[in-house]
Structure 1
Amino acid sequence: MKRQHWFLLCLALTATAAADARAFDFSSVLLEEDFESLVLGESVNVRRATIASPVTELATAPNTSAIPNAFTHTGPTGWAVDNTLGTYLGAPTSGNTGVPGQGVADYGVDEWEGWSFADKDFWVRAAGGQDRELFAGASGNVAVVDGDEYFDLGDPDDAVNGGYFNSGLKSRSVAVDTTVGIQLQFNSSWRAEAFDDGHKNPAFNDTNNQSVEIYALVDGSTLMPIDSWDSQEFLDEAETTPNPSFKGDNVDEVLTYNLFTALSPELSGASSVEIVFNYANAANDWWWAIDNVQVASLDGGGLPVNAYLEDFEGVTLGDSVNERDGFPIVKRAGDDAESAPIADAYTSAQPTGWGREFEHPVKGDDDLGAFEFEGWSFASQDFWGELGSGRADFIDGEGTVAVADGDVWDDVGDPESQGEMQTMFETPAIDISGLDAEQQLVLEFASSWREEDSQAAIVTVDLGAGPVEILRWESSGGDENYFKEDALSEKVSLVVDPQGASTATFAFSYVGTNDWWWAIDNVRVGAVPEPSSLMLVSLAALGLVGRRRNGSAS
């Protein structure tokens, strides 16, 4: 079996891995919202025109058209937008309540009238970027409140409709057990601006101070502060006294709050919590956007720290190439005029920040190997599942899944005769600096595996000193110590000693030819309390560190 250097490195470091393969119930994630379930509608004021870039116009503007799948003001079930917000940190908002010009066709860009839920790419293109594109932690749909874009139709000092911008977003109610604590985490993008806009009431001119308030609404009535910040850098005109509540630009960050510590003792005994995200006193300033909101119970049996989540739903799928509608696989897209590509089928473009490698002696040959499965691909589960042989049984995966399928790849020409496929893809470097000393790192993912011949699957982790193998599965033709029987749908959990590292990068490698497949979905990284030293020592002594012989994780 030929292997490239990156594959050999994984083998050489196997003995130093400190991973424990155990089953974890991630039920302690009480709320998980990435806004991907929302149905987006057509744009209103952000229009297609005769030029390439979108323009901001009235909906009736000639020679323009709406952009599909752009935004909605309807949030997830149980979530609520408040466009009548009138307080910030308990004090009245500056000059007015709510969002000025609501419902007025020629004032305010409809897409950004209060909190909106928008396709991230649409939001970025509509605004012409301006660093919104740097919100790398978000993908697909995001929740956005954007005073800068809203006032592209109308001014805050408009005598009739003017005013400052105030809008709140409240999550659905979450049942909690406060005896074990609660954690809130989400991706955030913020750009600050203040004191540079008029108001329809001149008494409030230049009092705009784009601000954020995050709080928990406990049992539907008690307000418990979590965090707040604003755009005022200094408290005096001489700019000598820093404002402790100032938050400078941070267009891509992960915010994590231990609510039990922050809110105790008032939270003690509560039965439910709603998370509120308020944006207040903004004018033609900048924005705040969030994604991947998670509330977790710190019960030690689940996911105390959700450092990372990737479900591949943010990638854009394109037409199939060799897999054709109405015909089995053909060598070339044009081999038969009656065949047609399948829309929204797959892509080889990995999520932002991920790396991908594919090696084969004749890679890139149009006559050898199905295009869709030249290495790790990201495919619609429906498209991939229709290829049969048990692929549709991957019920733990959903939407778009990551697939390495040597079986289907070999169906065009005979690439097996030229050598085996070797492919790897890896996460970005994930920030784990927030882990406590007693916590262990957890990797969980949904997996579908069907074994044959020399097929192999490997997972490695790089904590800053190079990749270390923490899981290996081989088929019946490989080493019996690593044999993994068919498991068409399961959840796999691996515990890794973080060894004081500040980042972790996980890689998923596959080797195979005309064998079967390995597919994964819903990659999560988090933390659990440290397992006993005895457990780790016992695993190492038995030679089981980094192995999962039977793969049972559910």
Structure 2
Amino acid sequence: MDIKTNQAIMLAALCAAAGSAVAGQPLVTLFSEDFESFPLTVNQEEGVFTGTVACYTEAFLGDGVVCGGPNLNTECGDPPVPATIDCSDFVNTPFDGEWSYNGWSQIYGYDWDGSGGSTAAQPGIGAAEWQGWTVCDYDFWISADTQLREEFSKASGRVLVADPDEWDDYDPFGIDPDSTGVFNSRITSPAINIDGVTENTVIVRFDSSWRPEDTQKAALNVSFDGGAFTQVLLFESDSSSPDYHPDATNESVEIAINNPSGATSMQIQFELFDATNDWWWAVDNIQVAGEGGDPIEPPSPFDLTLAQFNDTTVVPMSWTQSLNAIEYDVVIANDADFNDVVVMETTTNLSFSTAAGDLTAGAYWVKVVARNSLGSTEQVMQIGVDNNCPADLSPDGTLNFFDVSRFLQLYNAG
């Protein structure tokens, strides 16, 4: 997804949830993740392995070793990470259900003790590349099978996927994966700095593709300052449940989070659990934002509303909130290069109006600049002002009844 489009959607969600922005409480991006920096696992067809004869035994252990090439769902290196590059001659460590990268940590195969919970399927059983949450190329995911996966058009490039349907479709030893237990997997973000963020203003947004079936469940959980995780979103497959979520293969999800006063960090966690040979949950373009705090990105684009022709020297203007903007500079000049400046003001509001004496009749250039410490973005317009009447005695920038009244007062006063 285009980042500008994603920011615009996030901004709309924030404004809807929190109301219009107020001075001193700018909306800022606190965290974002599109998984494009994550290494990819090897694009192999299920049940097809490459390499030398000596590697076949390793490959059929279910941990997806491919000798002489990229490896998946295995661990190598120090510290051990999923072997998504050619590790050459290394001692293979079978996938133990856990991996971490760039502050994210994933665990697969844990027991879930909720209502109806059952023993979890363990690592090493089922299709290797789909054991737990996987970061994969979108095209590779839909090449495994379509079945409406291809409808997730909001996603692009690398996508976070939990797919118990594909997991259950293959096992090297012919074991029926879901007969051994349920698919349980969760992935947790790095700590997100929310120091200085106004309480109850955090929004979590992400693009989502979900298909329900049987007992499959999905949840978004949050934690503050290293505390216990609390569930803030639940998708269920049971149509009789109040949390039932029908097919939604291409949606944007926004969740308002009640971040407590004084909290300085938070984590988010995506969980797919209690699943058998069901469907999937895929996620992309994650953003966390809130009011206040330290932005991690420059201001986003915004729209400026301003009449191009004005029959008054009192010229009002307004603009939409720029995500991450700390303040706005309003500059009015006689030239397009803004060398001959006649008005310059800085504000945290989303509107501004010239004073009656600021402008005379003529053409002007107007620039509004949204900025923070990381950068700026701006909107520029040319306007015309036509009020060169010396009888503007109020003065309010226009000729009206008040000017006539003031003239009569002055005339009668002699």
TM-score, L = length of structure 1: 0.42
Distance across 1 between alignment mates of 2:156 and 2:209: 12
Distance across 2 between alignment mates of 1:282 and 1:223: 21
Distance across 2 between alignment mates of 1:291 and 1:130: 19
Change (3 A) 1:146 1:160: closer
* Matched position secondary structure for 1:227: strand
Counterpart mapping for 1:407-422 below 5 A:
none
Matched residue, 1:162: 180
Distance across 1 between alignment mates of 2:235 and 2:376: 46
Change (3 A) 1:68 1:186: farther
The AA in structure 1 aligned to 2:351 is S
Matched residue, 2:106: 81
Is the Cα–Cα contact under 8 Å of residues 71 and 119 in structure 1 kept in the other structure?
Answer: no
Matched residue, 2:198: 179
Change (3 A) 1:274 1:160: closer
**Distance apart, 1:193 and its partner CA:** 0.8
Q: Which runs of 5+ in 2 are unaligned?
A: 1-25, 50-57, 74-81, 83-98, 302-317, 325-333, 340-347, 370-374, 379-414
Change (3 A) 1:192 1:159: closer
The AA in structure 1 aligned to 2:132 is G
Q: Larger radius of gyration, structure 1 or 2?
A: 2
Change (3 A) 1:222 1:534: farther
Change (3 A) 1:249 1:229: same
1:505-551 CA-partner distances (Å, limit 9, x unpaired): xxxxxxxxxxxxxxxxxxxxxxxx86024279999x97435788xx9
Is the Cα–Cα contact under 8 Å of residues 212 and 236 in structure 2 kept in the other structure?
Answer: yes
Distance across 1 between alignment mates of 2:354 and 2:257: 31
Aligned residues: 277
Distance across 2 between alignment mates of 1:536 and 1:66: 74
Change (3 A) 1:27 1:247: closer
Matched residue, 1:46: 46
1:395-437 CA-partner distances (Å, limit 9, x unpaired): xxxxxxxxxxxxxxxxxxxxxxxxxxxxxxxxxxxxxxxxxxx
Which of 96, 100, 112 is residue 119 of structure 2 equivalent to? 96
Distance across 1 between alignment mates of 2:354 and 2:230: 40
1:433-473 CA-partner distances (Å, limit 9, x unpaired): xxxxx9925489xxxxxxxxxxxxxxxxxxxxxxxxxxxxx
Is the Cα–Cα contact under 8 Å of residues 335 and 364 in structure 2 kept in the other structure?
Answer: no
Is the Cα–Cα contact under 8 Å of residues 439 and 530 in structure 1 kept in the other structure?
Answer: no
Which of 274, 277, 282 is residue 275 of structure 2 equivalent to? 282
Distance across 2 between alignment mates of 1:299 and 1:156: 54
Change (3 A) 1:269 1:158: same
Counterpart mapping for 1:187-226 below 5 A:
187-194=207-214, 209-226=215-232
* Matched position secondary structure for 2:232: strand
Distance across 2 between alignment mates of 1:139 and 1:70: 23
Which of 116, 127, 137 is residue 154 of structure 2 equivalent to? 137
Change (3 A) 1:85 1:484: farther
Distance across 1 between alignment mates of 2:105 and 2:152: 24
**Distance apart, 1:92 and its partner CA:** 5.6
Distance across 2 between alignment mates of 1:82 and 1:119: 20
Counterpart mapping for 1:517-528 below 5 A:
none
Is the Cα–Cα contact under 8 Å of residues 41 and 129 in structure 2 kept in the other structure?
Answer: no
**Distance apart, 1:268 and its partner CA:** 2.5
Counterpart mapping for 1:281-320 below 5 A:
281-299=274-292
Distance across 2 between alignment mates of 1:307 and 1:192: 35
Is the Cα–Cα contact under 8 Å of residues 28 and 302 in structure 1 kept in the other structure?
Answer: yes
Distance across 2 between alignment mates of 1:185 and 1:116: 20
* Matched position secondary structure for 2:353: helix
1:461-500 CA-partner distances (Å, limit 9, x unpaired): xxxxxxxxxxxxxxxxxxx955699xxxxxxxxxxxxxxx
* Matched position secondary structure for 1:46: coil
Matched residue, 1:387: none
Change (3 A) 1:301 1:280: closer
The AA in structure 2 aligned to 1:124 is I
1:90-127 CA-partner distances (Å, limit 9, x unpaired): x2662213xx1412xxx300000001110111111022
Change (3 A) 1:134 1:534: same
The AA in structure 1 aligned to 2:144 is A
Change (3 A) 1:82 1:307: farther
Counterpart mapping for 1:110-509 below 5 A:
110-127=128-145, 129-154=146-171, 158=176, 162-176=180-194, 177-180=196-199, 181-194=201-214, 209-234=215-240, 243-260=241-258, 267-299=260-292, 440-442=320-322, 482=336
The AA in structure 2 aligned to 1:108 is G
Which of 350, 366, 374 is residue 531 of structure 1 equivalent to? 350
